[in-house]
Amino acid sequence: MPTTSAAKAPATVLVVFGASGDLTKRLLMPALYNLAGNHLLDEEFEVIGISRSAMSDAEFQGKQAEFMSTFTQQRSGDSSQKLDEVAWKWLEKRLSYTSASFTEDDTYQQLSKRLGKRNAVFFLAVPHEAFLPIVNGLHANGLMQQGKNTSRRVVIEKPFGHDHASAINLNQHMLGMFKEEQIYRIDHYLGKETVQNISALRFGNRLFESTWNGEHIESVQITAAETVGVEGRGSFYEPTGALRDMIVNHLFQVLSLITMEPPATKSADAIRTEKAKAIQSIVPLSETDLQHDVVRGQYTAGTVNGKDVPGYTQEDSVAPISGTETYLAMRLKLDTPRWKDVPFYLRTGKRLATRKTEIVITFKQPTTWTQDPVAANTLVLRLQPEEGITLFVNAKVPGQTQELQSVALDFGYKNAFELKPNTGYESLLYDVFIGDQTLYNRADIIEAGWEKIQPILDAVAQNKLKLHPYAAGSEGPQIADNLPCRSGHEWRKLV
């Protein structure tokens, strides 16, 4: 998140559509509280919440305050951690609420009068079906028109589209009304410090910069494992699934940061251009690839963390016979000189053995020193939890032999830096206030991701990809082990 050494953001009005929802309370408000605590918000900063639910300003403020009272304790794991009352009171008095319809012009006309010529950010914390009515309303009523000293920006949460065609249509629709530099397509994974650190690790350390290629790297794994189920969001998850929810968004973002070429400059467009090229270079999946390099799974009843949990089809708002995957693993390659013949293994799933998001980069076997097989050097980037980096290297075992043993060199964020409880939205909100799109997706990045998974979506629609059951609390479908095994590799164990 931005530090106190960062400049204060310009005076801005943050308009949150869907302000009565969970995202505002759980992610946006704590992030704004942290920014306020670091004195990064202007005195003229203001939040206008808009939703259909009837609520007064005081009720809206009280609802946010109720959650904030436990936020710092939950995030820090310290029950004695207290809310910074000064920071919260500063923010709370800048919160207001309006009950209004997203489809009526009067909503936007009243909002326009209230904003005047001030800078504004419109944050769409709403289901995807509400995107178009809101952006149409903003456009039709002139709310996105910018003046010489006035900025207007819109932030859109995932999912940005449902398939390749709908992503293209949504981009074309928005770009027909707004400029690309006004559109901020958010992926909250990019707000994580550990994800942002991927580029710093690559380009800020000669040790890795010179070996970050297929000449030295044997394989790469990206894992996003969850212990939770659909958490009462069955109606959202049923038409979505793991592929749309995680792979095309979060994991492809991580993949692009690992594989992109060094950008010509540190500008947002230079970085995003290289990210787009990386995703576009993914080798298209053939029909044969789909059968051998993609595994879909769905959790059945089992035990997670010592607690019995139901199967996916027993969850609320889930069809009793459902074809939605809660697990997806895939093997892919990139058609670039840097990554020629290097396999990338991606997997994500719900109700797995543990909660863990990590990148595992396995280097090629040493070619000198000993004829005996030794462990390959492995770099593990722990994105969450226990954020940090572990590098496994070989060292000589003390004694009279030349035996080597793999040992871990470990770095933990909480040991090296003073980390405050945060949601990952701090950097994302700060950047949209100052107009920095580095951590936001451009249209071509979004469309490239959907294009690469479209063959999987088509195969699923045609019932050509089997859905494999796996017990809740396990490591996923056993058949997924075949993806790395065929190349002499194996998944890093979750536990």
Residues serving a catalytic function are 250
24 is in an annotated binding site: yes
Q: Residue-wise over 140-172: b if at least 16 C-beta within 10 A, else e? A: ebebbebeeeebbbbbbbbbbbebbeebbebbe
Contacts 24+ apart (CB under 8 A), 101-105: 101/52, 102/17, 102/50, 102/52, 102/126, 102/130, 102/133, 102/134, 102/137, 103/133, 103/137, 105/137, 105/140, 105/141
331 is in an annotated binding site: no
Residue 365's alpha-carbon distances to 217, 219, 230, 362, 377, in angstroms, are: 9, 11, 41, 9, 7
356 is in an annotated binding site: no
234 is in an annotated binding site: no
22 is in an annotated binding site: yes
Distance of CA 194 to the CA centre of its chain: 11
Would you tell me how many other CB atoms lie within 10 Å of the CB of residue 229?
Answer: 23
Q: SS in 3 state form for 95-148?
A: EEEEECCCCCHHHHHHHHHHHCCCCEEEEECCCHHHHHHHHHHHHHCCCCCCEC
20 is in an annotated binding site: yes
Beta strands 294-300 and 327-332, pairing class:
antiparallel
Does residue 456 sit in helix, strand or coil?
helix
Beta strands 217-225 and 294-300, pairing class:
unpaired
Strand partners, 183: 154
Q: If you write DSSP's letter for every residue of 259-291 in order, what string do you get?
A: HPPPPSSSSHHHHHHHHHHHHHTBPPP-HHHHH
List the one residue out of 247, 264, 265 whose CA is nearest residue 256: 247
192 is in an annotated binding site: yes
226 is in an annotated binding site: yes
164 is in an annotated binding site: no
Residue 409 DSSP code: E
Residue 29's alpha-carbon distances to 36, 67, 328, 437, 477, in angstroms, are: 10, 9, 32, 21, 38
Helices and strands (H, E) in the chain, number of each type: 18, 17
21 is in an annotated binding site: yes
Residue 193's alpha-carbon distances to 439, 454, 494, in angstroms, are: 11, 30, 22
Q: Residue-wise over 308-341: b if at least 16 C-beta within 10 A, else e? A: ebbbbbebeebeeebebbbbbbbbbbbebebbee
- Spatial distance between the Cα atoms of 492 and 488, rounded to a whole number of angstroms: 13
The answer to whether 368 touches 495, Cβ cutoff 8 Å, is no
Element (H, E) at 198: helix 193-203
63 is in an annotated binding site: no
23 is in an annotated binding site: yes
364 is in an annotated binding site: no
The answer to whether 63 touches 33, Cβ cutoff 8 Å, is no
The answer to whether 157 touches 21, Cβ cutoff 8 Å, is no
The answer to whether 254 touches 195, Cβ cutoff 8 Å, is yes
Q: Which residues sit in the known binding site for NADP(+)?
A: 18-25, 52, 158
Q: Which residues sit in the known binding site for substrate?
A: 188, 192, 226, 245, 350
Q: Which residues sit in the known binding site?
A: 18-25, 52, 158, 188, 192, 226, 245, 350
